[in-house]
Structure 1
Amino acid sequence: MSVSTLVRKGLLILLLVLMRFVVAAQQVQVSGTVYEKTATMGLSGVSVHSNSGAGAITDSMGRYNIKIPVTDSLSFSYQGKSTQKFAVKEINLTRPFDMKLFVEIKTLATVEVKAKPKSYQYDSLENRREYRKYFDFEPEYITSGNGGAGINLDALFSIGKIKRMQQFRKFLQRDEQEKYVDHRFNKDLVQKITGLKSPLLESFMVEYRPTYAMLMSFENEYDYLRYIKEMGTYYESEVRRGHTNIPVFNR
């Protein structure tokens, strides 16, 4: 076999390898809606996973959108149960890739609501308005006037009052942060993501309640929901091994 033939074969093999890398790196967008078993209502909080590590969570209407390699595969999980894996190359990307999970959704009978309950955002805004002078309070020890800069004697003689104002502001800030955690880490969301029920649910929420700083550290909503899911799975396994005082029961 001549040298030129070997070179041509080597180049051909290299070209084939490069083509495989190009195909593997090609990103496609898969989107659709996840429904409950009657296919009439979208399911929120469904996890969408890929082998490459990408993930998404369905919104309040059950819709999802995820960008992954064409060589990847998808699966869906809800309340600890997962579907089979679906190869992306076998999905028709020209139309939505909808999924139906055999889950029952319980709905409440329609009732007449005379007064809309206040939302967390409304309460937080009202709280800021009511205590605005405390949130915006900054003591001025230096004054300026026609005679130039000087010492604010009123501020110096009111140090006790200033300290009380600052302490109350810190209290208001902590209270606001705790209410934000209550809003984000609520019972309905945690139960939907973990599948835990009372008394495990209440115990889990006390033990794994995130701090305000922790909530702010999550890069996106998916990372936050994944934290709840993983901690819920770990907590339930600890209960079943008898490492907590909560009684074990079958869900």
Structure 2
Amino acid sequence: MKFWLTLFLLVSCCSAFAQAPVTGIVFDKNSSERIAKVNITNLNSGKTAYNDLKGEFSITAKIGDQLVFSKPDHFSDTVSISSYTPLAIYLKPVAIQLKEVTIKGKNLTPEQQLVNTKREYAKIYSPSSNPDLLNMGNGGVGLGIDALYNLFSKSGRNAEKLRGIIDDEQKQKVIDYRFNKTFVQGVTHLEEPRLTDFMQKYRPGYYLVTTAGDYEFIAYIRTNLKRYLRHSKAHELPALPKVKVDNN
């Protein structure tokens, strides 16, 4: 009797910790059509996968694991695995899909905006705006007159300063492009004004935005969300005192 009881407990423990493929299909919640290019992340094991063009996916997980389904143009969804029955996942789109219209100057990526900016300020980005200090002449190596002028003249310093301003602005646009309200709200489910407050307090840096993968970026937001919910009023300004107005 003890042997069978021990064997039963051993099999139960192994089953609890065993991993098996979790399969399913991802749909658009509004249209009920299958959607592809959805990232599936197992928060417990760290494994990631993408579904195929038919919307179908397969990822290993064990009972109790949490899977995050994310797609740039849809809100993310988190599912806790309770069985190995195939899943039907419905992701809500972040906006109503309208008929595609091409509008010049609108909805450009930060890289496209930078190309346009450099075209508008071609003079300060041209090679002649920052030539080498040393040049080769008949007499050998010498100082370039144009280089010295651009280096020490007021116009040269202004051009260098303007390039710095444009480059800094470009980095902020890259951050805004990825750390946008639609995406952050899909991960945090915060509403205004707390959404704006959270984004201002936990705005990521340029390095994180340009190097972190989807899993790391979502994890960054979720980690800071926990901190924000614990200390959301830590930096709030006190309410202004009420002032009694005497009309006499």
- Whether TM-score is above 0.5 comes out as yes
Alignment correspondent of 2:225: 232
Q: CA deviation at 1:152?
A: 1.7
User: Residue deviations 1:183-238, cap 9 Å, x none?
Assistant: 111111111111011010010111111121232342x2221122112222331232
- Equivalent residue for 2:159, pick from 158, 165, 177: 165
Does 2:81 match 1:85?
yes
CA RMSD of aligned residues (A): 4.2
3-state secondary structure, aligned to 1:216: helix
- Equivalent residue for 1:100, pick from 71, 83, 89: 89
Q: Scaled by the length of structure 1, what TM-score is found?
A: 0.62
Alignment correspondent of 1:155: 147
Q: CA deviation at 1:36?
A: 6.0
Q: Where does structure 1 lack aligned partners over 5 or more consecutive residues?
A: 1-19, 92-96, 247-251
CA distance in 2, matches of 1:237, 1:57: 33
CA distance in 2, matches of 1:176, 1:206: 18
User: Residue deviations 1:136-193, cap 9 Å, x none?
Assistant: 5423221212332222234334412332222221111111111111111111111111
Does 2:113 match 1:123?
yes
**Contact preservation (8 Å) 1:196, 1:232:** no
CA distance in 2, matches of 1:44, 1:199: 32
Q: Scaled by the length of structure 2, what TM-score is found?
A: 0.63
User: Residue deviations 1:64-88, cap 9 Å, x none?
Assistant: 86764x768743357897433256x
Instruction: Read off the aligned partner of 1:227 and give its amino acid letter.
Output: Y
Alignment correspondent of 1:245: 236
3-state secondary structure, aligned to 1:52: coil
- Map residues 1-251 of structure 1 onto 2, 5 A cutoff: 32-35=24-27, 40-41=32-33, 42=35, 48-55=41-48, 68=60, 74-77=65-68, 82-86=78-82, 90=84, 97-100=86-89, 108=96, 113=101, 115=103, 117-120=106-109, 121-135=111-125, 136=127, 137-158=129-150, 159-160=152-153, 161-218=155-212, 220-239=213-232, 242-245=233-236
**Contact preservation (8 Å) 2:149, 2:156:** no
**Contact preservation (8 Å) 1:29, 1:65:** no
3-state secondary structure, aligned to 2:42: strand
Structure 1 153/48 Cα, relative in aligned 2: closer, same or farther at 3 Å? closer
3-state secondary structure, aligned to 1:83: strand
Q: Where does structure 2 lack aligned partners over 5 or more consecutive residues?
A: 1-13, 70-74, 238-248
* Aligned residue pairs, count: 209
Alignment correspondent of 1:14: none
